[in-house]
């Protein structure tokens, strides 16, 4: 099976029949990849697809107990036949890795510059300290760091973006021919993501270095890479030129990934979400791994493992029905990307459900210097309205949300929720406090940290129901089942514990718990940013449905303008604690007036085929 699309016959990296397993349990089926000199490819798929383990197998750093078979050849050298001592002379020097979380990639006990210094010591020209120090400075400048003191700072003293730049400089210090970047921007803010990806591409072109980008984000892959490998449940489902795959996906899974991504240029009535979740490779041996989630699956898809075969020049797909269903795939894409009707302007003379006036929140900073996280912010949320609060980390978004639900007390300013003064929960009358807590609930970014791991889902919902009704009789199995049904889960989930749930299932449980008190407004703090793109689409559709059915209001806190465009009618843009722009969503994103808003819009990944909204 030839998977070396558009190969010159002498690629820098050739992977053939690479299969990864845990003992006798398969994690990936045999797959083949080729990377030309100076080429950028992407390996794309959801969590659990095998992307990161494939990258680690190529670099020869699989975890203990995980085994790989097949061949990995770098410039003619069979890496999997080398002893560990020989691999160490390849790893870092010819092949290097950049991990997702820069804080775990850097040694917390070493200064930033020392990570680069350590990588330079094996080279004769940097045997003494002075040349190494000069080279560290040059390497930091290459990744956009010109501040003299960064080399002397510890990782905890650096931002996530700065840590990732230092980690990149260290990964490049030995001038590798191939860099494997495993989700290098996922843990970062949208503007920092864009900066890191632009930096990676610039350095890759200047050095004529090969790059493998591991990502779950198809749009990021399209904007960055020349070829795409789509991996699902350990098997390759589609391979091809990035522009061609973007123009017309051949596999239903590729199309599902693409349509799950919220479009930045339009608001759609509903995202096309892939139902279910990624299975284990061991559970779909001998059949199409995507069949259980595919609307076009037939018996032929389950009768055997579909081979990855050529369907066009430089295009491979593992869909046995591609010729039959391509017209339907194309029609679905056209229909899914039709803009939703314009949201009618609300009459803002009616009473606001939430009023925030001149809110200030100051924290004690180091050496007695106060930090003003929120600066004179005023905001309105009308009944049944969805409002977006947009900004990067450190802008004050979460602090504002926590002030609304009483987890922080503002330093100054006024908050009114359903007409009740709610700036200081501690000073409120007991009845008013109880009423406000029933009116407003908060959903957090990480649902696992908000659920007691020792309690079942049913126990968590029972507590919320009792808090709402004040009686144990309110928490009946029927009420719990109704709450679960409201968020798309079966009654059987009541007996399960958080550890047995996927990220999307945990977030649904967190939403059900918030709904138990029948709130009028939900404060949603980055509720989909930690989820896979297909699960993100499912949860965003759920938020839309719940708003329509229950008349809910939302304060939707996010850094992602593509997400907020799908959910919010109005947007407030927060920068360094201040509102710098506000207005209807379509106007703010379509015609941003403030330089910061423009920067957020420009940070949305786009391929050469796309234009800014």
Choose the weakest-confidence range: 200-204, 278-282, 465-469: 465-469
- Average pLDDT (155-175) is 87
pTM of model > 0.85: yes
Nearest-Å Rg of the Cα atoms of the chain is 26
Q: What is the reported pLDDT for 613?
A: 53
Q: What are the φ/ψ torsions at residue 401 (nearest 5 degrees)?
A: -60, -40
DSSP state of 607: -
**Residue 576: CA count within 13 A, CB half-sphere:** 1
DSSP state of 93: T
What are 477-493's pLDDT values in tens digits?
A: 888 999 999 998 899 99
- Average pLDDT (331-340) is 90
- Average pLDDT (114-138) is 87
What are 273-311's pLDDT values in tens digits?
A: 898 889 999 999 999 999 999 999 999 999 999 999 999
Choose the weakest-confidence range: 124-128, 488-492, 522-526, 575-579: 124-128
Confidence tier at 3 by pLDDT (50, 70, 90): very low
Q: Encoding tokens for residue 105?
A: 């990639």
CATH architecture of 13-94+176-336: 3-Layer(aba) Sandwich (3.40)
Q: What are the φ/ψ torsions at residue 428 (nearest 5 degrees)?
A: -80, 150
Q: Between the CA of residue 242 and those of 12, 322, 336, 534, what are the distances in Å?
A: 19, 18, 21, 20
DSSP state of 170: H
Residue 326's H or E segment, with its range, is: helix 322-336
Q: Which residue has the higher pLDDT, 365 or 514?
A: 514
Q: Rounded distance, CA 445 to CA 510, Å?
A: 10
Query: What sign has the CA pseudo-torsion 185, 187, 193, 199?
Result: negative
Q: With contact defined as beta carbons under 8 Å apart, do 141 and 166 qualify? A: no
Q: Encoding tokens for residue 198?
A: 């632009």
Long-range Cβ contact pairs of 478-484 (< 8 A, separation 24 or more):
483/512, 483/513, 483/515, 483/516, 484/457, 484/509, 484/512
Residue given tokens 């759920």 in the structure block:
542
Confidence tier at 609 by pLDDT (50, 70, 90): low
The DSSP bridge pattern shows strands 210-215 and 40-44 to be parallel
Q: Rounded distance, CA 426 to CA 411, Å?
A: 14
What residues pair up with 15 in beta bridges, in sequence order?
33, 72
Task: List strand residue ranges (DSSP E) for 262-370, in order.
Answer: 309-312, 315-317, 354-363
Q: Rounded distance, CA 515 to CA 468, Å?
A: 10
Choose the weakest-confidence range: 160-164, 328-332, 609-613: 609-613
CATH architecture of 354-452+520-602: 3-Layer(aba) Sandwich (3.40)
pLDDT at 553 over 50: yes
What are 589-604's pLDDT values in tens digits?
A: 999 999 999 999 988 8
User: What is the chain's mean pLDDT, rounded?
Assistant: 89
Burial of 258 (0-12, 13-18, 19+ CB in 10 A): buried
Q: Which residues of the chain are in CATH 3.40.50.300 domains?
A: 13-94+176-336, 354-452+520-602
What are 420-457's pLDDT values in tens digits?
A: 999 999 999 999 999 999 999 999 888 777 888 899 99
Long-range Cβ contact pairs of 585-593 (< 8 A, separation 24 or more):
585/267, 585/343, 585/388, 586/267, 586/342, 586/343, 589/264, 589/561, 589/565, 589/613
pLDDT at 366 over 80: no
Q: What is the reported pLDDT for 349?
A: 52
Residue length of the chain: 613
């Amino acid at each position: 099976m030839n998977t070396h699309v558009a190969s010159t016959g002498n690629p820098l990296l050739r992977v053939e029949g690479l299969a990864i397993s845990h003992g006798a349990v398969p994690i990936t089926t045999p797959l083949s990849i080729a990377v030309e000199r100076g080429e950028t490819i992407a390996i794309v798929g959801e969590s659990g697809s095998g992307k990161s383990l494939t990258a680690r197998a190529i670099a020869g750093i699989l975890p203990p107990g995980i085994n790989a078979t097949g061949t990995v050849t770098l410039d003619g050298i069979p890496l999997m036949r080398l002893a560990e001592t020989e691999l160490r002379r390849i790893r870092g020097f010819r092949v290097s890795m950049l991990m997702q979380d820069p804080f775990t990639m850097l040694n917390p006990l070493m200064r930033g510059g020392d990570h680069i210094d350590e990588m330079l010591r094996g080279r004769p020209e940097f045997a003494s300290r002075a040349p190494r120090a000069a080279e560290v400075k040059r390497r930091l400048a290459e990744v956009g760091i010109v501040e003299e003191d960064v080399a002397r700072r510890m990782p905890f003293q650096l931002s996530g973006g700065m840590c990732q730049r230092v980690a990149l400089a260290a990964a490049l210090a030995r001038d590798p021919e191939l860099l494997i970047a495993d989700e290098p921007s996922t843990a970062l803010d949208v503007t920092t993501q864009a900066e890191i990806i632009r930096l990676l591409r610039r350095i890759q072109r200047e050095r004529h270095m090969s790059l493998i980008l591991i990502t779950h984000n198809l749009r990021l892959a399209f904007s960055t890479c020349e070829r795409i490998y789509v991996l699902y449940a350990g098997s390759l489902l589609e391979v091809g030129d990035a522009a061609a795959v973007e123009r017309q996906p051949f596999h239903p899974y590729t199309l599902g990934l693409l349509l799950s991504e919220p479009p930045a240029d339009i608001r759609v009535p509903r995202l096309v979400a892939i139902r279910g979740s990624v299975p284990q490779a061991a559970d779909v041996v001998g059949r199409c791994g995507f069949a259980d989630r595919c609307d076009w699956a037939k018996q032929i898809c389950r009768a055997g493992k579909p081979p990855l075969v050529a369907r066009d020049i430089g295009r491979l797909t593992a869909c046995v029905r591609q010729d039959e269903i391509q017209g339907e795939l194309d029609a679905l894409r056209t229909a899914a990307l039709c803009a939703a009707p314009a949201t009618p302007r609300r009459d803002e003379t009616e009473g606001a459900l939430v009023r925030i006036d001149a809110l200030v929140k100051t924290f004690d900073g180091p050496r007695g210097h106060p930090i003003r996280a929120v600066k004179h912010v005023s905001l309105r949320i009308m009944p049944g309205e969805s409002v977006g609060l947009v900004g990067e980390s450190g802008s004050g978004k979460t602090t504002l949300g926590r002030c609304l639900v009483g987890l922080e007390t503002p330093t100054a300013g006024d908050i009114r929720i359903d007409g009740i003064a709610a700036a200081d929960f501690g000073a409120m009358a007991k009845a008013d406090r109880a009423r406000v807590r029933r009116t407003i609930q908060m959903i957090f970014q990480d649902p696992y940290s908000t659920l007691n791991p020792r309690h079942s889902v049913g126990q968590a919902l029972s507590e919320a129901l009792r808090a709402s009704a004040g009686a144990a009789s309110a928490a009946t199995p029927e009420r719990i089942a109704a709450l679960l049904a409201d968020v798309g889960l079966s009654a059987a989930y009541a007996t399960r514990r958080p550890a047995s749930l996927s990220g999307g299932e945990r977030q649904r449980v967190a939403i059900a718990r918030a709904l138990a008190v029948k709130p009028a407004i939900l404060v949603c703090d980055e509720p989909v940013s930690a989820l896979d793109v297909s699960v993100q689409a499912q949860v965003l559709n759920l938020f839309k449905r719940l708003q329509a059915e229950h008349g809910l209001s939302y304060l939707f806190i996010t850094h992602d303008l593509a997400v907020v465009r799908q959910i919010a009618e109005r947007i407030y843009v927060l920068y360094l604690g201040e509102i710098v722009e506000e207005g209807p969503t379509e106007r703010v994103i379509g015609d941003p007036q403030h330089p910061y808003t423009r920067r957020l819009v420009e940070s949305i990944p786009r391929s050469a085929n796309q234009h800014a909204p």
